Amino acid sequence: MVKAIQVGLGFWGFDWTKEVIPQVPTVEMVAYVDANPEAIARVQAELGVPQNKCFLSLEEAARSVEADLVIATLRTEAHYPVVKQALELDFNVIVEKPFASTIAQAKELVALAKARNRILMVSQNYRFQPAPIAAAEMIGAQKFGPINLVSIDFRRHAPSQGYRYWDMPDPLLADMSIHHFDLMRMVLNDNPKRVSCRTWNPAGSPFGHHPTGVATIEFEKGVIVSYRGSWMSNGPATPWAGEWTIDCSEGEIWWTSRDHFMGKAGPDRLQTRERDAQPKQVELAPVEYPDRRGTLAAVAKVIETGSVPARFSSGEDNLYSLALVQATILSAFRDGEWVEIAEVMERV
Ligand SMILES: NC(=O)c1ccc[n+]([C@@H]2O[C@H](COP(=O)([O-])OP(=O)(O)OC[C@H]3O[C@@H](n4cnc5c(N)ncnc54)[C@H](O)[C@@H]3O)[C@@H](O)[C@H]2O)c1
């Protein structure tokens, strides 16, 4: 059993406490931390967590309990100070996406984890789903030969769907597209080279910043991805992972994942189509621990066994997903000018 301390019991953090962590049998909770006493009171009242497991700071918890892992489920701006402190206290860490506010902070945390010989994982939960895993395997096996074009669409109408983060800067690129960017890297098994991106705030939108954007992303092996995302779409809502069409020289792979909408969840779907043939639905292998349960079970297993599996979203791996966020934001700021990933990776 991996003993864990959770830090950050807010809206999403409490969902981890209640719905995710109890479903991972290899993790035992030894402490819960939040700087806000109301958040602490909620875990005590709603989940019956005893007072001696609750703390207002990580430092206090570390003095009182023995633990192997910190589960950091805070807003992005709090990731850097809390993860840094957790690593300095010699804990392994799993942190919610986006990893950090800047590449420089993320690099510093990666270096610190290495120096302390600790595991640092970013919870890129969309990786732990049947469709992207199957797509990554098909692309790896070159099922339909080389890729011609990858097209991805993400559509949601935030105002009618219980959205909460109206004033967040870059609500699309930093908060949502990070999932799609990370999946691009996993499915293509490649890293991005350069991007061109435009974003905007549609008329009548309640967002303070840009919820809609389009990007062209060139990968190192030459694949081009055409990405369109919107929180202000009146079209049919896509599943959270978006709708993907991977056009290859001998056929097409179409898939979508995390089909949760208005309280209903549908299964992942993937279909293949040989040129001029009818599409074939592919039966997807279930994932033992899907989604956030998957990231948590994965980090617990790495801590227990010391062996790191394929497609593990370590902090180091995640630098390129974060770089896609930063590069698209920079390109959008420069009116769609091409931005090399190397430029944002080297920024201090
Ligand atoms: N993976 C997904 O699909 C998904 C979905 C939604 C949100 N998220 C992510 O979840 C994260 C948390 O979002 P949220 O809505 O729960 O935020 P929130 O603002 O509701 O909660 C953050 C909590 O952290 C606490 N906190 C802040 N600094 C602290 C510190 N130094 N020590 C202890 N406690 C501290 C606050 O008191 C608050 O209770 C974000 O990074 C967001 O991107 C991920």
Same domain flag for 256 and 136:
yes
Q: What is the CATH number of the domain that holds 252?
A: 3.30.360.10
Query: Which of 15, 74, 295 has most ligand 1 atoms within 8 Å of its beta carbon, as the pocket-test mutant?
Result: 74
Distance CA 170, CA 173 (A): 5
| 295 within some domain | no
pTM of the full predicted structure? 0.96
Does 348 have pLDDT greater than 80? no
Same domain flag for 51 and 135:
no
| 229 within some domain | yes
Domain count, the chain: 2
| 347 within some domain | no
Same domain flag for 148 and 281:
yes
User: Distance from the CA of 205 to the center of ligand 1, in angstroms?
Assistant: 25
Q: Are 86 and 95 in contact (CB under 8 A)?
A: no
Distance CA 104, CA 84 (A): 13
pLDDT of residue 261: 86
| 302 within some domain | no
| 298 within some domain | no
Same domain flag for 159 and 246:
yes
Q: Which of 118, 145, 169 is the last residue of a domain?
A: 118
Query: What is the number of the ligand 1 atom nearest to the C-alpha of 164?
Result: 15
Residue 84 CB: number of other CB atoms within 10 A?
A: 17
Same domain flag for 210 and 108:
no
Helix (H, G, I), strand (E, B) or coil at 34: coil
Residue 69: closest CA among 58, 56, 80: 58
pLDDT of residue 262: 80
| 296 within some domain | no
Query: What is the number of the ligand 1 atom nearest to the C-alpha of 165?
Result: 15
Residue 294: closest CA among 91, 124, 102: 124
pLDDT in tens, 245-282: 999 999 999 999 999 888 888 999 999 999 999 999 99
pLDDT of residue 94: 99
Same domain flag for 139 and 104:
no
pLDDT in tens, 216-245: 999 999 999 999 999 999 999 999 999 999
Q: What is the CATH number of the domain that holds 74?
A: 3.40.50.720
Quote helix, strand, coil % in the chain, to nearest 5: 40, 25, 35
Distance CA 55, CA 318 (A): 30
Distance CA 6, CA 69 (A): 8
Same domain flag for 263 and 151:
yes
Same domain flag for 179 and 81:
no
pLDDT in tens, 87-133: 999 999 999 999 999 999 999 999 999 999 999 999 999 999 999 99
Strands 147-155 and 243-248 come out as antiparallel
pLDDT of residue 263: 82
User: Distance from the CA of 14 to the center of ligand 1, in angstroms?
Assistant: 9
Distance CA 92, CA 117 (A): 9
Residue 149 — pLDDT band, cuts 50, 70, 90?
very high
Hey, whose CA ends up nearest to atom 29 of ligand 1?
35
Q: Residue 98: is the preceding peptide bond cis (ω within 30°)? A: yes
Same domain flag for 88 and 173:
no
Q: CB of 56 closer than 6 A to ligand 1?
A: no
pLDDT in tens, 174-219: 999 999 999 999 999 999 999 999 999 999 999 999 999 999 999 9
Same domain flag for 63 and 131:
no
Q: Which of 59, 93, 118 is the last residue of a domain?
A: 118
| 95 within some domain | yes
Q: CB of 34 closer than 6 A to ligand 1?
A: yes
Same domain flag for 137 and 38:
no
Average the pLDDT over 134-144 and give the result.
97
Range of the domain at 96: 2-118
Q: CB of 73 closer than 6 A to ligand 1?
A: yes
User: Distance from the CA of 11 to the center of ligand 1, in angstroms?
Assistant: 7
User: Distance from the CA of 76 to the center of ligand 1, in angstroms?
Assistant: 7
Distance CA 84, CA 64 (A): 19
pLDDT in tens, 62-73: 999 999 999 999
pLDDT in tens, 277-333: 999 999 999 999 999 999 999 999 999 999 999 999 999 999 999 999 999 999 999
Query: What is the number of the ligand 1 atom nearest to the C-alpha of 56?
Result: 33
Q: Which of 59, 86, 118 is the last residue of a domain?
A: 118
| 315 within some domain | no
Same domain flag for 83 and 134:
no
